[in-house]
Amino acid sequence: MIVDFPLRGSDWMAVQTPAARVPSHGSNLLGTRYAYDFLKVDRRGYFHPMGAARGLLVGGPTRDAYAWGASIHAPFDGVVVGASDGMTERPWIHPVREAARMVWTAATFEASRIPSILGNYLLLRSDAGDIFAGFAHLAPGTLAVAEGQRVTTGDVLGRVGHTGNSTSPHLHFQLMDSADLMSANGIPCAFRAYLVERNGERMPVTNGIPGRRDRIASVDARDAGAEAP
């Protein structure tokens, strides 16, 4: 299915993408077969001003991550069929600790722990039929819609955070054929329009699947003059 890109601004990277492998997250569980993880990065390709060396030693504040607080937008017209905004956020990122948490969660997975994996999340059903979008790891207190609410393409849904099974503030986004994550199958997803940096210039892409090394900007970022941190 082709949908609108759910983020705004420039310098997004799909660190997990079906362009690199399928299943993109190494598993078909929870409808994640074609899921994306989007980070916002600086010119070095790093997600936080602390840098890689400091990150390995002491980490850095969650809210300093470039993606934190970025607005998330509806990729299609639809209805909110699930939402949760009750989980607190870890205030400090330590990449080694976060990676260990992710490995432990995968090794000990149980259906009862799905809420703790998703963090604050949103499920959206498309008006086009039984196609559902899932958004995970939202920042606490930022959910802008409620279950049963109708949204139109481009509406703000919430903001990027670091809740649940998250290694750093990022948006986990996927399409699937059911709102029941235990039975959902992932649906292939491409984005209607975005820009990719090539040799210092932003080139338009239509109906594209971002690659892992692509530096992505929303189609309005060029006019807004958004630059990397």
Tell me the pLDDT tens digit for each residue of 70-102.
Answer: 999 999 999 999 999 989 999 999 876 777 766
Distance CA 221, CA 229 (A): 14
Q: Helix H segments across 16-158?
A: 51-57, 95-107, 114-118
Position 108 scores a pLDDT of 67
Q: Which two tokens stand for residue 189?
A: 């997803």
pLDDT exceeds 80 at position 148: yes
105-141 residue pLDDT tens: 666 666 766 888 899 999 999 998 899 999 999 999 9
- Given a cut of 90, is residue 19 above it in pLDDT? yes
Residues listed for the chain: 229
For each of the domains in the chain, give its residue range(s) and CATH number, in order of start: 2-224 (2.70.70.10)
Structure tokens at 113: 């722990």
Higher pLDDT, 51 or 4: 4
Predicted structure pTM score: 0.92
**Cα–chain-centroid distance for residue 15?**
10
150-189, pLDDT tens digit by residue?
999 999 999 999 999 998 999 999 999 999 999 999 999 9
Residues contacting residue 62 through CB under 8 Å, at least 6 positions apart: 68, 89, 90, 91, 92, 93, 162, 169
